[in-house]
Chain A
Amino acid sequence: AQSVSQHNHHVILSEAASLELGCNYSYGGTVNLFWYVQYPGQHLQLLLKYFSGDPLVKGIKGFEAEFIKSKFSFNLRKPSVQWSDTAEYFCAVRPSGSARQLTFGSGTQLTVLP
């Protein structure tokens, strides 16, 4: 079975700082990778996803993530965070071609100070 580790439980940054949130997964085969975001009081929504091709994927609101297969990692980055990026971020993995469940990490709470 697959698993996901998010090493940072809570990250606090000032506006304009750069962001990198770590995500490592464990699975022996090909995977689809996702980052979801949950803003305060809102539902989970997709930030970006990787299925195949260019390992650097760009998502909404200036976020990007890089898939490094050799490291089983899919870290989320943003060059300059804004106060509105304050949210909880979840990394998730699913075996490629599977119609079934996403396995989520435990999440990283990002707080951006104005």
Chain B
Amino acid sequence: ETGVTQSPTHLIKTRGQQVTLRCSSQSGHNTVSWYQQALGQGPQFIFQYYREEENGRGNFPPRFSGLQFPNYSSELNVNALELDDSALYLCASSEKEGRGEKLFFGSGTQLSVL
């Protein structure tokens, strides 16, 4: 077990809707990263939060947004869902902005967009 928990585990939405995914990071970790893993692909970096501020962003449109809270838990919000947003969304926590430290991944939220 990594200590990183994500909710919900599965979610079904329709195109155009909005979704919020949640992540509780491992105790003592102040950095959270979000990844999208499409079927048959490796995880793709969405963004990272460090001490409640966005600290890096991958090639994802602005309708993907996030938050980190004072307890270092995090949310990923996706607006105007598209069919291609169907994927496994992974949260990973780490210490020290992730620099030189390993990531601890959660089990993910499987999002299906119909």
- B41 near A107 with CB under 8 A, answer yes
- A90 near B43 with CB under 8 A, answer yes
Tell whether A70 is near chain B: CB-to-CB under 8 Å.
no
Interface residues of A in 29-45 (CB under 8 A from B): 32, 34, 42-45
User: How many residues on the B side are at the interface (Cβ–Cβ under 8 A)?
Assistant: 28
Partner of A100, one of B2, B56, B105, B106: B56
> Which stretch, B62-70, B78-86, B96-104, touches the partner chain A?
B96-104
User: How many interface contacts (CB-CB < 8 Å) are there between A and B?
Assistant: 60
User: How many residues on the A side are at the interface (Cβ–Cβ under 8 A)?
Assistant: 24
In the assembled complex, how far is the CB of residue A36 from the closest CB belonging to chain B, in whole angstroms? Answer: 8
- B43 near A46 with CB under 8 A, answer no
Q: B43, B50, B56, B103: which has the most chain A beta carbons within 10 Å? A: B43
Tell whether B8 is near chain A: CB-to-CB under 8 Å.
no
Interface residues of B (CB under 8 A from A): 2, 4, 31, 33, 35, 40-45, 48, 50, 55-56, 58, 90, 92, 97-100, 102-103, 105-108
Q: Main SS of the interface on chain A?
A: loop
B residues less than 8 Å from A75 (CB atoms): none
- B2 near A43 with CB under 8 A, answer yes
Tell whether A21 is near chain B: CB-to-CB under 8 Å.
no
Given A101-B48, A101-B58, A4 and B42 touching (CB < 8 A)?
Answer: yes
Q: List 6 A-B contacts (CB under 8 A).
A: A43-B106, A43-B108, A49-B102, A97-B99, A100-B55, A102-B45
- A44 near B56 with CB under 8 A, answer no
Contacts beyond the supplied A99-B97, A104-B42, A106-B40: 18 A-B pairs with Cβ under 8 Å: A4-B42, A42-B107, A43-B105, A44-B90, A44-B92, A45-B2, A98-B99, A99-B98, A99-B99, A100-B48, A100-B55, A100-B98, A102-B45, A103-B45, A104-B44, A105-B42, A107-B41, A107-B42
